[in-house]
Amino acid sequence: MNKRFSAILIPIISVLIALAISTVIILLIGKNPLTAYSALIRGSFGSKQAIADTIIKTTPLILTGLAVGFGFRAGVFNIGAEGQMVMGALIAAAFAGNFGFLPPIIAIPLTILIAMAVGAGYAAIAGFLKAKTGAHEVVTTIMLNWIATYFASYMVTGPLKVGSGTPKSPEIANSAQLPILMKVGAIEVSAGIIIAVVAAIFMYILLNKSTTGYEIKAVGFNPYAAEYGGISVSKNIILAMAISGALAGLAGATELMGVHHRFLGELSGGKGFDGISIALIGQNNPIGIIFAALLIGALRTGSNEMQFVGVPKHMVMIIQGIVIFLVAADRIVRTIMIRKKVTK
């Protein structure tokens, strides 16, 4: 089968199988799947508000998807996008509260840069440990996620705390907030979506047109051959983790500067983990990742509406899990496709 064709077909069929399984589950709890799915679609694309909400949810997902996807291309499995995103946004929030004296043209890039640098540095810890001691990045990045979560909860209930209720940091300066592109009722779509799309294009160029990208891909493809070819494996592992972390930090920045304007108790809410599904569904291709993020973003937005018709929003996690499973074990899907051909 044509390689490019199957790269698109496998994720699509996986999504369809996942929907079929979730239909059975919804039937089992005695609800109407058609009602549930129409609520899901209405909730994500049914109105101007819904579309605006979907764009807002998709923005950080494109970036965490790029973060994980970039890692995959380099042969590292960055489960830590969650923690890198939290740390980036948290530290940027701590600084950007004081940027009132700076004009936006300096305050905005500066805040973004801080979030990206912190994300890169936090991810580089795992990269460094993998390169130098062989510590598996899956274990270290998960641990760094937990540490980031507890650190953030310490910061917003302690040194950064303002007001009562939900733990939160002070609001960042007006000049550090991203410009608004579109306003629907109380929902504001910021320029974050443009940043995310530009990042995807940048990643495409980096991977396909630059020496760095070539080296990183070579290490990911076969570290032994790369080493033999004079490419430093450990340098590239650390670099790949850092770039991956910078993208996750950027996801934190768009959330901070475009949506909440402050660090809230739980900023990430699983977006780092969603990055894994998005990278897989998008087959680590930057353009594919944009569409995969839109799919997951729409599912997340619509799931609230689905909850109103009596189907718990956890359904979306199940669908996502099944899709990842099928894309990882893609031979299941291939076998189904071949069988279909034979029976024809």
Q: Per rule CB under 8 A, is residue 165 in the interface with another protein?
A: no
314 binds another protein, rule: CB under 8 A: yes
| 322 contributes a contact to another protein by CB under 8 A | yes
CB-CB neighbours of 304 under 10 Å: 16
70/273 with CB nearer another protein: 273
* Position 143 contacts another protein (CB under 8 A): yes
**Is residue 248 at the binding interface for another protein, with CB under 8 A as the rule?**
no
Q: What residues contact residue 254 under an 8 Å CB cut-off, 6+ apart?
A: 59, 60, 63, 178, 190, 192, 195, 196
CB of residue 82 to another protein, shortest distance in Å: 12
Nearest to 169 by CA among 105, 246, 248, 255: 255
**Interface with another protein: number of residues (CB under 8 A):** 46
User: Can residue 84 be called a binding residue for another protein (CB under 8 A)?
Assistant: no
* Residue 155: closest CA among 300, 265, 3, 256: 265
**Near another protein by CB under 8 A: residue from 7, 8, 19, 25:** 25
Q: Looking at 328, 336, 338, 340, which residue binds another protein (CB under 8 A)?
A: 328
CB of 335 to another protein, least distance (A): 8
**Is residue 77 close enough to count as binding another protein by CB under 8 A?**
yes
From first CA to last CA, the distance across the chain in angstroms is 16
Instruction: Judge contact between 233 and 217, C-beta under 8 A.
Output: no
Q: Which region among 53-61, 91-99, 156-164, 224-232 touches another protein (by CB under 8 A)?
A: 156-164
At closest approach, how far in Å is the CB of 199 from another protein?
Answer: 23
The verdict on 29 binding another protein (CB under 8 A) reads yes
202 part of the interface to another protein, by CB under 8 A? no
Cβ closer to another protein: 39 or 322? 322
Binds another protein (CB under 8 A): choice among 2, 101, 133, 186 = 133
**Is residue 16 involved in binding another protein (CB under 8 A)?**
no
Choose, by CB under 8 A, the member of 107, 144, 196, 256 that binds another protein. 144
Query: Which among 330, 144, 146, 180 is positioned nearest to 261, based on CA atoms?
Result: 180
Query: CA separation (Å) from 300 to 38, 293, 295?
Result: 14, 10, 9
Binding site for another protein (CB under 8 A): 25, 29, 77, 79, 129, 133-136, 138-140, 142-144, 146-147, 150-151, 153-154, 157-158, 161, 273, 276-277, 280, 312, 314-322, 324-325, 327-332
